[in-house]
Chain A
Amino acid sequence: MERSWWWKALGILLLTVVSVIYVLPSVVPEKRLPSWYTKHINKRLQLGLDLQGGIHLVYEVEVDKAVSDKADRLASDIEERLIKDKKVKVKITREGRDDIIVTMQKPSDLKVIDKKFLADYRSNLDEVERNQGAGTLRLRMDAEYVEEVQDYALRQGIETIRGRVDKFGVSEPSIRAKGRDIVVELPGLGKKDFERVKKIIGRTAQLEFKMCDDESDFMTRAAGKIKKGGPIEVRNDSYDGKQRGTVVYTYLQSKDKKALQAFIDTLDVPKTHMIMLGEEQAKDEKGNDLPEKVWRTYYVHRRAELTGEYITDAEVQWDERTGRPEVGLNFDRNGAAIFERVSGDHVGERLAIILDEKVNSAPVFQGRIGGGRARITLGGFKNPMALQQEAKDLVAVLRTGALPAPLRKVFETQVGPTLGRDAVSKGMWAFAIGGGLVLLFMFYYYKGAGFIADLGLILNFLFIAAILSGFEATLTLPGIAGLVLTIGMAVDANVIIYERIREEQALGKSPRAAVDAGYSRAFWTIFDAQLTTAIAAFVLMQYGSGPIRGFAVTLLVGIISSVFTGVVVTRLCMDLVVGKFRPKTLSI
């Protein structure tokens, strides 16, 4: 044989060995394989939820938070319009979930909020109380609108979760609403993936900007109730408050978050305010860093000035001074306008940047900030690699959109296959019978050449299994559909070639010439036919999600492998037959 034949044969042999190595963990139970083996190769084919069951997560969407946020935004909007268009001095506060309280500095200004002004909010807000003398007005979210917001939060929650789960690749999640809950079903994931999935799904990525109220003496009075020597410490801090002079304020800190929260829960915080917690690096009395982290309080206005909904883009960037990764944010036009006004109105005050109900940082506004950009620094206790991963995860979550409302886990459990074990075993049998029939038929119809095609088919099946195992693909019924088509069509390449060889033989060509002509003529036919199908598969993989994507992956893998085994592998065998044994007639 020619030298190139041997190289090709060696290559195929190597591929076969590698494939067997990759397929083994999917076929043989883990316990029967030696530990050095599973240590290096532990990727296996996953069966989908419909075939083997998986993890069933139920989340309750805290729709009331979405309603409260909406009220915050309406409050900002009203404030913006009153100050800009009506040029009045006004204070707007929020109470509870639904209420917005407008307080005019000059009570007589209240008349600017007339029917015409409120007409824009007709479907959103109801006027419940107007006190002309005091210049206050209480607005409340409309009941029907509340329902609408809640429904939207649920729907948006589903789409956001789907976007996040799809980032995990080929697995086929099922995500659906159930009453006010969201049910997520994930086919048999490994334990390590499971933790990560839960973390990313549950991540609300809710970004809020709230002003700190450091002039109130509420915290100082609360600090009086702290016993010395307990888990909670009282601290004071100060900063340059510009025209307000040096601002000194009190806060509480503790290594024990629970103890801190428990204490806060005993306080009677005014309805318009709240106490939030944030994590930071501990410092000793002199202000030197200590190698541990502590939780501290921030006394903030309940109302959020700005939320993540105004973000258009997020990216990982590096702090020029420290070289540490941080997350840069861009606001849309409205968000930029609000941010500029807030920063201008509150020069010398601290803004709490709150991510997922946790204060990320609270910088002091040095002046008006235009341009609609902000950045989030990341916690300083991790190595740069971990920080960068954290920044990337945060950007991914911010880009797929924040959840409009936080999720609360209701339960997680393991469920059996939706298709039923009986159905699965029957399906596998059917698959085996069908495959066996194809093998037998090829051997009957094409004799020796058919046997070669059968060899190719078996190798094809092995390669597909190996590639899918290597990708840790999830095999579901739609995926099997792709495989059925592949197995049925895989022999197509050989049928095309063999029919061609028969034609060439009929023209009087020698076996060797017939084989050469058959393969070279049939190649472009096969190429065009398979490439057209591959285009379809590729597009489905790019745009489709969930089950459609899974189907496309198996189909694409199947096409590549079939062309290889159908054209290259069988050609090698045929060359061996005609080259080495030089038969007078071909067994075809």
Chain B
Amino acid sequence: MARWIKPNINVDFIGRRRTFWTVSGLLVLASLVALVVNAFTRGDALKYSTDFKGGSEIQVEFARDVGPGKVRAALDKAGFEGAEVVRVDDSKRPYFFMIRLTEVSAFSAEEQQKVQQQLAATFKKENIEKFDYRPGGDKAYVHFKRGFEVKPDLVEDAFKKGGIEVQQVQLFGRLQDNTYEVGLAGLDRDIRKIFEKALGAGVVKDVPQVESVGAKMGKQLRDDGIKSVIYALLLMLVYIAFRFDFQYAPGAVIALAHDVIITTGLFAVSWQEFSLSVVAALLTIAGYSINDTIVVYDRIRENVAKMRDRKFPLVVNASINETLSRTLLTSLTTLFTCVSIWIVGTGVLKTFAFALTAGVLVGTYSSIFIASPITIVLNERFAKKKAR
């Protein structure tokens, strides 16, 4: 009979609970710090994918057959990791692709400032109402004051002096709005270069359009998501309080938050792309964490009735030991699937599996070392109250 955990195993998990809490506390703190540090040094707490941030959508028509795999590989090599490459089935344009990148501004903030200075020098500041550029796009807009006469050539010169190559300048919208559209030679040229280098000269037939795209996860969708997670947590708390006892509920929820925060922290530290799939993985981890914790709780409840002569902390420790075999075996079987996807999968699948693997490990740890010991603290509090 295969038996990796001896039935009479008796490890003292409870005695060292403060050590484990300190370790966990530090890990949670480190995760939060990593998020904050990222927010300051990199501009974002996490490396959000186009799902959250939007970015640029570039249409590319190739002259010959190149698979989506090669296109993605070429972009990866050029530093555009996690690009979304979609083949368009169009009978007129057989090798047509849509590529989505997270913000790759053809026009950096510094350059924008330089150009604005040049424009102010040429036209005087009070004649320019607004300078408009949507990140990721290949067009900038200059709104002049109404009635102010503008020569398009001068606009082009101002951009050139600012170090920006311009394709054309033309009047935009109604005449009285006095707005000029400036076509920038930016991303389309870069993309062309990348593909010519990786896939051979003349491979790109045309880059018809570069445009900024909004986030897939819009505001409402995000708010709905957050709301649903909060409701889910509350209901689980209520259920645990009802089925077990109130003293059990906080431990389960703290352990769950612990798992999700640390996994998110790993994404902050490793600066891996944080996409909608990763959110799904986090939800999965939450489900797993709760499941794992409840099994131990159930045993505690059973043993509390059975071992009336023993003190609560000892009962908890015995319960953790008794369920240890099951806890570890279930983690192992779950890890089989997660790790194999992590090793074999590519791209989004890989980051997704990474999140799951990390989450299962942390979740197993927390249900043993965090969730159950917390019930002891609460039990002491309740006991004291009753004693009074």
Nearest CB in chain A to that of B179: its residue: A143
B residues 20-47 in Cβ contact with A at 8 Å: none
Question: In the assembled complex, which residues on chain A have CB atoms less than 8 Å from the CB atom of B104?
Answer: none
> 1/0 per residue B300-339: CB within 8 Å of A?
0010000000000000000000110110011011111111
Q: Which of B221, B239, B344 contacts A532 (CB 8 A)?
A: B239
Question: In the assembled complex, which residues on chain A have CB atoms less than 8 Å from the CB atom of B353?
Answer: 430
Binds A, one of B118-126, B152-160, B195-203, B284-292: B284-292
Residues A484 and B88 in contact, CB atoms below 8 Å apart: no
Binds B, one of A256-264, A353-361, A491-499: A491-499
Task: For the complex, give the distance between the alpha carbons of A488 and B221 in Å.
Answer: 29
> 1/0 per residue A411-432: CB within 8 Å of B?
0011111111111001101110
Task: For the complex, give the distance between the alpha carbons of A53 and B290 in Å.
Answer: 34
Is A481 part of the binding interface, using a Cβ–Cβ cutoff of 8 Å? yes
Binds B, one of A30-38, A106-114, A231-239, A535-543: A535-543
Is A445 part of the binding interface, using a Cβ–Cβ cutoff of 8 Å? yes
Binds B, one of A74-82, A175-183, A458-466: A175-183
Is A525 part of the binding interface, using a Cβ–Cβ cutoff of 8 Å? yes
Nearest CB in chain B to that of A146: its residue: B177
Question: In the assembled complex, which residues on chain B have CB atoms less than 8 Å from the CB atom of A547?
Answer: 276, 279-280
Question: In the assembled complex, which residues on chain A have CB atoms less than 8 Å from the CB atom of B340?
Answer: 430-431, 433-434, 437
Residues A413 and B89 in contact, CB atoms below 8 Å apart: yes
Task: For the complex, give the distance between the alpha carbons of A353 and B294 in Å.
Answer: 60
Is B77 part of the binding interface, using a Cβ–Cβ cutoff of 8 Å? no
Residues B177 and A481 in contact, CB atoms below 8 Å apart: no
Nearest CB in chain A to that of B68: its residue: A420
Question: In the assembled complex, which residues on chain B have CB atoms less than 8 Å from the CB atom of A56?
Answer: 88
Count A-B contacts at CB 8 Å. Answer: 254
Residues A162 and B295 in contact, CB atoms below 8 Å apart: no
Q: Which of A413, A477, A488, A548 contacts B225 (CB 8 A)?
A: A548
Task: For the complex, give the distance between the alpha carbons of A56 and B96 in Å.
Answer: 14
Chain A: minimal CB distance from B319 (Å): 11
Question: In the assembled complex, which residues on chain A have CB atoms less than 8 Å from the CB atom of B225?
Answer: 544-545, 548
Chain A: minimal CB distance from B336 (Å): 4
Chain B: minimal CB distance from A284 (Å): 49
Q: Say whether, besides A183-B213, A415-B87, A499-B325, A444 and B2 are in contact (CB < 8 Å).
A: yes
Question: In the assembled complex, which residues on chain A have CB atoms less than 8 Å from the CB atom of B65?
Answer: none
Q: Say whether, besides A484-B356, A506-B7, A544-B225, A551 and B283 are in contact (CB < 8 Å).
A: yes
Residues A532 and B216 in contact, CB atoms below 8 Å apart: no
B residues 59-108 in Cβ contact with A at 8 Å: 67-69, 72, 84-90, 98
Q: Which of B326, B333, B356, B360 contacts A441 (CB 8 A)?
A: B333
Question: In the assembled complex, which residues on chain B have CB atoms less than 8 Å from the CB atom of A420?
Answer: 68-69, 72, 85, 347
Residues A178 and B212 in contact, CB atoms below 8 Å apart: yes
Residues B240 and A532 in contact, CB atoms below 8 Å apart: yes
> 1/0 per residue B1-12: CB within 8 Å of A?
111000100000
Task: For the complex, give the distance between the alpha carbons of A503 and B7 in Å.
Answer: 8
Is A88 part of the binding interface, using a Cβ–Cβ cutoff of 8 Å? no
Is A265 part of the binding interface, using a Cβ–Cβ cutoff of 8 Å? no
Is A372 part of the binding interface, using a Cβ–Cβ cutoff of 8 Å? no
Q: Say whether, besides A418-B86, A535-B235, A423 and B356 are in contact (CB < 8 Å).
A: no
Scoring A419, A488, A489, A546 by chain B CB atoms within 10 A of each residue's CB, the highest score goes to A488
B residues 257-310 in Cβ contact with A at 8 Å: 276-277, 279-281, 283-284, 286-288, 290-291, 294-295, 297-299, 302
Is B15 part of the binding interface, using a Cβ–Cβ cutoff of 8 Å? no
Residues A525 and B218 in contact, CB atoms below 8 Å apart: no
Residues A426 and B298 in contact, CB atoms below 8 Å apart: no
Residues A525 and B298 in contact, CB atoms below 8 Å apart: yes
Is A290 part of the binding interface, using a Cβ–Cβ cutoff of 8 Å? no
Chain A: minimal CB distance from B48 (Å): 14
Nearest CB in chain B to that of A429: its residue: B344
Chain B: minimal CB distance from A184 (Å): 11
> 1/0 per residue B217-244: CB within 8 Å of A?
0101100110111011101100110010
Nearest CB in chain B to that of A545: its residue: B224
Task: For the complex, give the distance between the alpha carbons of A419 and B51 in Å.
Answer: 13
Residues B341 and A484 in contact, CB atoms below 8 Å apart: yes
Residues B336 and A415 in contact, CB atoms below 8 Å apart: no
> 1/0 per residue A213-231: CB within 8 Å of B?
0000000000000000000
Task: For the complex, give the distance between the alpha carbons of A535 and B252 in Å.
Answer: 14
Is B54 part of the binding interface, using a Cβ–Cβ cutoff of 8 Å? yes
Task: For the complex, give the distance between the alpha carbons of A525 and B358 in Å.
Answer: 25
Q: Say whether, besides A53-B86, A415-B98, A551 and B345 are in contact (CB < 8 Å).
A: no
Q: Say whether, besides A437-B336, A529-B291, A543-B228, A478 and B276 are in contact (CB < 8 Å).
A: yes
Q: Which of A174, A444, A481, A548 contacts B281 (CB 8 A)?
A: A481
Residues B349 and A546 in contact, CB atoms below 8 Å apart: no
Task: For the complex, give the distance between the alpha carbons of A176 and B360 in Å.
Answer: 33
Residues A536 and B347 in contact, CB atoms below 8 Å apart: no
Q: Say whether, besides A56-B88, A531-B239, A434 and B298 are in contact (CB < 8 Å).
A: no
Q: Say whether, besides A415-B86, A536-B287, A176 and B214 are in contact (CB < 8 Å).
A: yes
Chain A: minimal CB distance from B347 (Å): 5
Nearest CB in chain A to that of B98: its residue: A415
Nearest CB in chain B to that of A548: its residue: B225
Nearest CB in chain A to that of B146: its residue: A143
Nearest CB in chain B to that of A534: its residue: B287
Scoring A414, A422, A525 by chain B CB atoms within 10 A of each residue's CB, the highest score goes to A525
Is B188 part of the binding interface, using a Cβ–Cβ cutoff of 8 Å? no
Nearest CB in chain A to that of B214: its residue: A177
Task: For the complex, give the distance between the alpha carbons of A544 and B236 in Å.
Answer: 17
Residues A434 and B326 in contact, CB atoms below 8 Å apart: no
Residues A176 and B291 in contact, CB atoms below 8 Å apart: no
Residues A416 and B87 in contact, CB atoms below 8 Å apart: yes
Chain B: minimal CB distance from A474 (Å): 14
Residues A422 and B68 in contact, CB atoms below 8 Å apart: yes
Is B186 part of the binding interface, using a Cβ–Cβ cutoff of 8 Å? no
Task: For the complex, give the distance between the alpha carbons of A53 and B87 in Å.
Answer: 9
Is A502 part of the binding interface, using a Cβ–Cβ cutoff of 8 Å? yes
Task: For the complex, give the distance between the alpha carbons of A446 and B1 in Å.
Answer: 7
Task: For the complex, give the distance between the alpha carbons of A430 and B211 in Å.
Answer: 36
Task: For the complex, give the distance between the alpha carbons of A158 and B217 in Å.
Answer: 11
B residues 348-373 in Cβ contact with A at 8 Å: 348-349, 352-353, 356, 360
Q: Which of A445, A481, A544 contacts B224 (CB 8 A)?
A: A544
Residues A435 and B232 in contact, CB atoms below 8 Å apart: no
Q: Say whether, besides A162-B218, A177-B213, A423-B345, A524 and B298 are in contact (CB < 8 Å).
A: yes
Residues A496 and B341 in contact, CB atoms below 8 Å apart: no
Is B109 part of the binding interface, using a Cβ–Cβ cutoff of 8 Å? no
Nearest CB in chain A to that of B67: its residue: A422
Nearest CB in chain B to that of A414: its residue: B89
> 1/0 per residue A134-174: CB within 8 Å of B?
00000000010000000000000011001000000000001
Question: In the assembled complex, which residues on chain A have CB atoms less than 8 Å from the CB atom of B88?
Answer: 56, 413-416
A residues 388-427 in Cβ contact with B at 8 Å: 413-423, 426-427
Task: For the complex, give the distance between the alpha carbons of A524 and B244 in Å.
Answer: 12
Question: In the assembled complex, which residues on chain A have CB atoms less than 8 Å from the CB atom of B211?
Answer: 178-179
Is B137 part of the binding interface, using a Cβ–Cβ cutoff of 8 Å? yes
Residues A176 and B346 in contact, CB atoms below 8 Å apart: no
Q: Say whether, besides A419-B349, A421-B68, A427-B345, A178 and B7 are in contact (CB < 8 Å).
A: no
Contacts A179-B211, A531-B239 known; 10 new A-B pairs at CB < 8 A:
A430-B337, A441-B332, A478-B280, A495-B329, A506-B7, A529-B290, A532-B291, A536-B290, A540-B228, A551-B284
Chain A to chain B contacts (Cβ below 8 Å), 12 pairs: A415-B98, A419-B348, A426-B346, A427-B341, A431-B340, A437-B337, A478-B276, A489-B291, A506-B7, A536-B235, A548-B225, A548-B283
Pick the 9 closest A-B CB pairs, nearest first. Answer: A488-B334, A434-B337, A478-B280, A416-B87, A543-B228, A177-B214, A430-B344, A430-B341, A434-B340
Chain B interface (Cβ < 8 Å from any Cβ of A): 1-3, 7, 54, 57, 67-69, 72, 84-90, 98, 134, 137, 177, 211-216, 218, 220-221, 224-225, 227-229, 231-233, 235-236, 239-240, 243, 276-277, 279-281, 283-284, 286-288, 290-291, 294-295, 297-299, 302, 322-323, 325-326, 329-330, 332-341, 343-349, 352-353, 356, 360
